[in-house]
Structure 1
Amino acid sequence: MSVVLITIVTLAGLGAIAAVILYLASKKFQVFEDPRIDQVEEALPATNCGGCGFPGCRAFAEALVKADDISSMNCPVGGADTMSDVAAILGKEAGSAKPQVAVLRCNGSCEHRPKLTDYQGATSCAVAAALYGGETGCSYGCYGCGDCVQSCQFDAMYMDEATGLPVIIEDSCVACGACVEACPKDIIELRNKGPKSRRIFVSCVNHDKGAVAKKACAVACIGCSKCQKVCPYDAITMDNNLAYIDYEKCKLCRKCVEVCPTNSIHELNFPPRKPKVEKETPEQAPAE
């Protein structure tokens, strides 16, 4: 037998043995993957925004399949329709999460919060926050560098040149929470959209005492507690000189808006208020 033939036979034998070993190993260490994961992933919007609390739609799909109860799990982009489709695939019951939207809890525009310094560093809120307290007397407010806008995958935000603040486009916002994570000052919050998209919230996060906060920003919350005292639903709490409105308890009566001396409480998408009609006193009544 020639050397060439022996070499061929040897290599063929080694290849066959290796193939058998690989086959047996693949069977022994085979990882079963539930086919429903692919079905659920197809039902998800494939945005991979992380708003569900998982690093991507694939990871969320895996978690949904493994979970015994998915009622507390939600895809903010797809909303109730998507979760209903997922529930149908898995034979489970979807929750009824209320739609949310991002709100900006800072109204310190250039008009209300004058600059004291001029920042010349990198155009990044994260960098600026690591270096100093801001260009104004309020160290709690928006830096205006637009990290939140850059983080948004849905073109739901833009920077307003006139105010120097980000503007949230309600119809485009999917409440993924990327802007919330990107803001180093924690001035962006996800809140329930509310009936007819009406919301009331304190657009300020300043914890300074009233006089200091008012000096830094004309529309800052001064912690006067007037809103808390007038609220009939215990929806407002005071913590460290700052009022906060619980959107789960708030009934949108707007009484707090009327008594706020600095207009730091915002009301969105409400109809215009009817002008108050003053009652005539006896002295003002026309003589007969």
Structure 2
Amino acid sequence: MNFILIAVIVLGGIALISAVILYVCSKKFAVHEDPRIGQVSAILPGANCGGCGYPGCSGMASALVKGADAGSIDGLFCPVGGSDVMGQVADLLGMAVANTEPKVAVVRCNGTCELRPRIAVYDGLKTCTAVNSCGAGETGCGYGCLGCGDCVNACAFGAITMNQETGLPEVDEEKCTSCGACVKACPRNIIELRKKGIKNRRVYVRCVNKDKGAIAMKTCKAACIGCGKCEKECKFDAIKIENNLSYIDPEKCRLCRKCVEACPTHAIVAVNFPAPKVRTETSGQNVESVASSEKVNPSVESKQKEIKE
């Protein structure tokens, strides 16, 4: 009986001492969390995509609260939630948020199956990262899309799909949140986040091939050859040629589309612009009638001269 009592007393004493130690440690090493972090996290969409530059929405919430304490949250933006969510966060923190123009992912490769023929067959792990590590892939272009869909798998919003006919990824502007996950997933850096532009209209070079013109054209008929015609045509200094490749600065571009007409390989594309007006048959007939009347007038004048003579 004494042994049982002693064991109970000893165990009770150990439990009491451990409880005291744990209590002291919890008070001494306690980490205080600002309640606003939880409130901001509740407003954020919870996608945890990393598009804001932080590992998740909780990291973004902490950064926003710290920024508010420092006096500004400029430069912090949630691409998924957009301006509406950032406005709610700003109201909660009592801050002003700068208006950020929305962006969208664009695929800077126009090397379709027709324009960029296959010269080899890859037999291995079907990921862009794996194919890229093996070389140029199934085509002769070492810069273009590999077509394995790493960007599709990386997109958590279903905004990217592979076009089976062209072999290229396509971005749904309505679903794209510009989180940047596809940009990070592409081993060849052909996906870029660009401003949506006025009325969602954009002009950009759909090529990243840095080979010289003759070599680039052998691998892809739609490649940029770095001829510089677009640069000469642009009146706003928005186009630069570097490493045999043309690039259009979205900040300077005025969407005049003169560079699109000047490009001999059609590597520059204009998105969401209205289709050019096609002359109707009626207008064509009118033009022909006017032209015919113009041709008749000289003969009438000659006849009148003959009569006078």
**C-alpha distance in 2 between matches for 1:215 and 1:9:** 88
Partner of 1:140: 143
Q: How many residues align?
A: 288
* TM, length-normalised to structure 2: 0.88
Partner of 2:296: 287
Alignment-mate amino acid for residue 80 of structure 2? V
Aligned to 2:182: 179
Q: Which residue in 1 is equivalent to 2:52?
A: 52
Corresponding letter in the other structure for 1:85 = Q
* Match runs of 1:67-78 below 5 Å: 67=67, 68=70, 69-78=72-81
Shift of 1:119: 1.2
- What's 2:253 paired with? 250
Aligned residues of 1:71 and 1:96 also touching (Cα < 8 A): no
TM-score by length of 1: 0.94
Amino acid at match of 1:114: P
RMSD (Å) for aligned C-alpha atoms: 2.2
The residue matched to 2:270 in structure 1 has which SS? strand
Aligned CA distance change for structure 1 residues 47 and 20 (closer, same or farther; 3 Å): same
What is the 5 A alignment of 1:1-288? 2-67=2-67, 68=70, 69-274=72-277, 285-288=294-297
CA-CA distance at 1:12 after TM superposition = 2.4
1 CA distance for matches of 2:166 and 2:99? 37
Aligned counterpart, 2:307? none
**What is the deviation of 1:7?**
2.9
Q: Report deviation, 1:23.
A: 1.4
Once the two structures are superposed, residues 208-265 of structure 1 have per-residue CA deviations (whole angstroms, 9 ceiling, x without a partner) of 1111111211111111111111111111011011100001111111111111111110
After superposition, what is the alpha-carbon deviation per residue over 1:44-85, rounded to whole angstroms, capped at 9, x for unaligned?
A: 000111100111111111111112221111100000111111
Question: How far has the Cα of 1:8 moved from its partner?
Answer: 2.4
Distance 1:238 1:284, change over 3 A: farther
User: What's the CA shift for 1:161?
Assistant: 0.8
CA distance in 1, matches of 2:293, 2:15: 109
What is the deviation of 1:284?
Answer: 9.7
CA contact (8 A) 1:73 1:95 kept: no
Q: 1:284 to 1:175 in 2, by over 3 A?
A: farther
* More moved, 88-97 vs 44-53: 88-97
Compute the displacement of 1:120 (Å). 1.4
Contact 1:221–1:243, Cα closer than 8 Å, also in 2: yes
- Counterpart residue identity of residue 122, structure 2: Y
Q: Which runs of 5+ in 1 are unaligned?
A: none
Structure of greater Rg: 2
CA distance in 1, matches of 2:225, 2:138: 20
Question: What is the DSSP-based 3-state SS (H/G/I as helix, E as strand, rest coil) of the residue aligned with 2:183?
Answer: helix
Mapped partners of 1:109, 1:138: distance in 2: 12
Q: Which residue of 1 aligns with 2:301?
A: none
- Using the alignment, how far apart are the partners of 2:138 and 2:21 within structure 1? 68
1:4 CA displacement: 2.6
One-letter amino acid of the counterpart of residue 263, structure 1 = H
CA distance in 1 between partners of 2:162 and 2:2 (Å): 80
Question: Secondary structure of the residue that 1:115 maps to in structure 2?
Answer: coil
* Large movers: runs of 4+ above 6 Å: 276-280
Whole-angstrom distance in 1 between the partners of 2:224 and 2:14: 79
Higher mean displacement: 37-46 or 212-221: 212-221
Q: What is the deviation of 1:106?
A: 0.3
Residues 159, 166 of structure 1: 8 Å contact kept? yes
